[in-house]
Amino acid sequence: MKGTVKLVGAGCGRGLISIMGVKAIEGAQSLVYDDLIDDELLGYAPSDCKKIYVGKRYAKHSKTQEEINRILIDEAKAGRRVVRLKGGDSFVFGRGGEEYLALEAEGINCRLIPGISSSIAVPESLGIPVTHRKMAQSFTVITGHTATDMKEDYSALAKMRGTLVFLMGLNSLSEITSELIRCGKPAKIPASIVCRGFSGRERRIDGTLGTIAEEAVRQRAETPGILVVGEVAGFHMESKGDEKLSGKRVCITGTMSFMSRLKTALEEEGAFVESVETLSLEKKAENIPNDFSEYDWIIFTSANGIDIFFDELKVRDIDIRKISHMKFACIGRGTEEKLRRQGIIADFVPEKYTARTLGKEIARKLDKRERLLILRAEKGSVELTEELENAGVSFDDIKIYDTKFVPGKKGDDERIGDCHYIVFASAQGIKSFLSGHEIPENSQVVCIGDITAKELRTHVDRKFLSAGEHSVKGILEIICEAEKL
């Protein structure tokens, strides 16, 4: 039985993929993708999805177009649900039409999911509208380089009154500008190059049609770049807001769960976030007891523990009312919020979000006859159990997950090398990161918790920031505070 193929435009930046596109990735059995997508989109694919990289950039090809067509055909003929994930929109210089026709020739059904094109979105993100009333009533999108011998009709382009948008044009910039001027386009008309859109390193270089090629060299324009020619290039309609971290690049490390929460908080303040997974979770849910009748309290020291516990209750078909007699304690605000999402309000959260403080304060709160069930990581802090033992508290310390080092990926160092901040949330995360990377020399290091800070001091001989509140909110606050200095 033949499978199907979905040609999905991923958009040209983070968050710009459609809901339909995300759903397609979530249902994919085979994911064929290129360079110009947000790497985090791969995380939407099922764990058993086959991922095939076929990246292409100017003068550098991982696979030829014919090879990509063959891969799509073979994967579909193997009966798989195939998603072809392409940057921007598949039909705007994405060669999506060639892939569609190749699939059609083989009798393979193909569904199309459009994407946001960089031809509109990147100029807009840097303050250039491609159309504007009484100034530009049309815009034309042209490829700056082509794999064929077809030549652009610069005479026709020069006569157009609307905006000209050249994609992938940096390597042909001198030719494009000189030909337009030769064919009658005024040399003084505004022109801009918008580089590396939606990367956190985006940049705009302004000039005129007659000067922009020189400006590109002088200011070291970087690919991918877009040339915009027209009166609208004189506008500066950049986004304005009160985000405290606008223009800042922040590298975050840790588990996917932690990074997801922190990434959301940082992006709300305008930061561009690079995520480096350093730890993965290995569930040990089988250690969770079936009978909770002998316990009076459940202690959670992480959001991960909460997810694993309640997921396991569902797997075992255990009625939630089996734990209705119990009270709940959480180590900090993030864990408390995660518990709240399960419909349960924590009965106790310590004033200071550390294992030692949790142990001390809850020991004073307990009736001596009460028994605790601690559900946490294999390498959880001994400070919690030391405090409980010293106070004579009865408890079971159950390890329901472990963390494993995640090896560094090719390209990580390039992504994070110019980040303004790098964040570590655990001692294990630091060890894992340093096993495959170096901390960028110019990045301000931020950590959470005393144990993390202690581990960091053994590796870093420079000042770093330590969050006063051991939570995502604490990390956000200390970075925002540093930006005020």
Residues 272 and 290 in one domain: no
Domain range for residue 329?
282-404
Strand ranges of the sheet holding 465-467, from the earlier edge strand across to the other edge: 272-277, 249-254, 421-424, 444-448, 465-467
Q: Quick check: 259 pLDDT over 50?
A: yes
> Does residue 140 lie in a domain region?
yes
Residues 410 and 274 in one domain: yes
pLDDT band at residue 165 under the 50/70/90 scheme: very high
Query: Of the candidates 169, 203, 234, which is a domain's last residue?
Result: 234
Residues 473 and 359 in one domain: no
Residues 128 and 216 in one domain: yes
> Does residue 371 lie in a domain region?
yes
Residues 378 and 307 in one domain: yes
Residues 296 and 352 in one domain: yes
Distances (CA, A) of 227 to 22, 209, 213, 356, 436: 30, 10, 10, 58, 38
Residues 54 and 79 in one domain: yes
Kindly state the average pLDDT of the residues 101-123: 96
pLDDT band at residue 36 under the 50/70/90 scheme: low
CA–CA gap between residue 6 and residue 136 (Å, rounded)? 35
Kindly state the average pLDDT of the residues 396-424: 92
pLDDT band at residue 59 under the 50/70/90 scheme: very low
Query: Of the candidates 116, 133, 158, which is a domain's last residue?
Result: 116
Query: Of the candidates 116, 143, 162, which is a domain's last residue?
Result: 116
Assign residue 89 the CATH number of its domain. Answer: 3.40.1010.10
Q: Quick check: 124 pLDDT over 50?
A: yes
Which residues have a Cβ under 8 Å from the Cβ of 72 and sit 6 or more positions away? Answer: 5, 32, 82, 84, 99, 102, 103, 108
> Does residue 241 lie in a domain region?
no
Q: What is the pTM of this model?
A: 0.79
Residues 226 and 270 in one domain: no
pLDDT band at residue 58 under the 50/70/90 scheme: very low
Assign residue 183 the CATH number of its domain. Answer: 3.30.950.10
Q: Which residues are catalytic?
A: 34, 56, 168
Q: Quick check: 263 pLDDT over 70?
A: yes
> Does residue 147 lie in a domain region?
yes
**In this prediction, what percent of the chain has a pLDDT beyond 90?**
79
Provide the residue type at 482 as one letter.
A
> Does residue 449 lie in a domain region?
yes
- Total of domains in the chain: 4
Query: What pLDDT does residue 195 have?
Result: 95
**Structure-block tokens of residue 378:** 């294999």
Assign residue 436 the CATH number of its domain. Answer: 3.40.50.10090
> Does residue 240 lie in a domain region?
no
Query: What pLDDT does residue 178 have?
Result: 96
Residues 265 and 352 in one domain: no
- Give yes or no for a contact between 177 and 207, defined as CB atoms under 8 angstroms apart: no
Query: What pLDDT does residue 464 have?
Result: 95
- Give yes or no for a contact between 77 and 106, defined as CB atoms under 8 angstroms apart: yes
pLDDT band at residue 278 under the 50/70/90 scheme: very high
Mean residue pLDDT of the chain comes to 92
Residues 391 and 411 in one domain: no
Can you give the length of the chain in residues? 485
CA–CA gap between residue 304 and residue 335 (Å, rounded)? 8
Query: What pLDDT does residue 150 have?
Result: 66
Kindly state the average pLDDT of the residues 46-64: 76
Q: Quick check: 328 pLDDT over 90?
A: yes
Query: What pLDDT does residue 149 have?
Result: 56
> Does residue 442 lie in a domain region?
yes
Residues 169 and 67 in one domain: no
Query: What pLDDT does residue 410 have?
Result: 78
Cβ burial, residue 77 (10 Å; 0-12/13-18/19+): middle
> Does residue 337 lie in a domain region?
yes
Query: What pLDDT does residue 416 have?
Result: 93
- Give yes or no for a contact between 270 and 291, defined as CB atoms under 8 angstroms apart: no
Q: Which residue would you say has higher pLDDT here, 414 or 236?
A: 236
Residues 453 and 307 in one domain: no
Query: What pLDDT does residue 61 have?
Result: 56
**In this prediction, what percent of the chain has a pLDDT beyond 70?**
97
